[in-house]
Structure 1
């Protein structure tokens, strides 16, 4: 019975070790203008703002996986639209995930932003 408890504890520790995030300095984002079908790759640095059309993308954090793990990226962003009414909330605020873009995404009629990777 004791070996079962040890096995359960060992297996429980595996997912936690496989989910370690590493802070990165910048993010590579894919921006889409839905009207013109123009796709642009944007390099954004943590703590800086990048623009695409009427959007301002403030990258607050970018986390990646270590090289020995399955590649993934997560970026914390606040995206504002200069065409929004004064006092309107940001168009997006939160984490975006490269491997699960549908989990938390920008809902905008003209633009789409997606995280490709953190560097």
Structure 2
């Protein structure tokens, strides 16, 4: 806005120390619409409907648990309290693809009355070593953030699977008709 005032005064004649008032006009609605802040996550799942999937490992007894929390929720597992404040996944059209959650981990040690914060920050599935819970007994990591973007509703990858059946994963190998394969790879002459 300040630069608009400076540029608006450019067509005024130069004066010797005289203050020139320039009227402020309404901003161009087309320019404002293209430079306005984007819509909240481009129509993605609202934050309170997302679900972060975390892993919790007790290194002493090798017991691992999967914890599902919505942002704002916390769960106490033994002496560990895990809180999730946010859960994000990049849109399918953005690169690089990243999935993360803002996690806080509080642990109560033996003989301690209060929990002590051992971690507070973002954790990413693709970069687990970026932010690590540094604790000798417990390890916490992000596995997934369940959310959707517009256009994903119809895709098989984003659709939930019926309970008890795994999602079918498409093969990476191209599929071709048998006659196309036979024509491309002729039999050796005898």
TM-score with structure 2 setting the length: 0.46
Structure showing the higher strand proportion among its residues: 1
Task: Kindly indicate whether the alpha-carbon contact (under 8 Å) linking 2:125 and 2:143 is maintained by their aligned counterparts in 1.
Answer: yes
User: How many corresponding residue pairs?
Assistant: 100
State the Cα distance separating 1:77 from its structure 2 match.
1.3
Give the match for residue 54 of structure 2. 29
Give the alignment's Cα RMSD to 1 decimal: 2.5
Give the match for residue 179 of structure 2. none
Question: What CA distance in whole angstroms lies between the structure 2 residues aligned with 1:92 and 1:86?
Answer: 19
Residue 90 of structure 1 pairs with residue 117 of structure 2: yes
TM-score with structure 1 setting the length: 0.71
Larger RCO (CA under 8 A, 6+ residues apart): 1
State the Cα distance separating 1:40 from its structure 2 match.
1.0
Give unpaired runs (5+ residues) of structure 1.
Answer: 1-19
State the Cα distance separating 1:87 from its structure 2 match.
7.3
Give unpaired runs (5+ residues) of structure 2.
Answer: 1-40, 147-190
Question: What CA distance in whole angstroms lies between the structure 2 residues aligned with 1:86 and 1:52?
Answer: 16
Give the match for residue 77 of structure 1. 103
| Aligned positions of 1:1-119 closer than 5 A | 24=47, 25-68=50-93, 71-83=97-109, 90-119=117-146
1:52-94: CA deviation from partner (whole Å, max 9, x where unpaired):
3311111111111224556531111111112285677511011
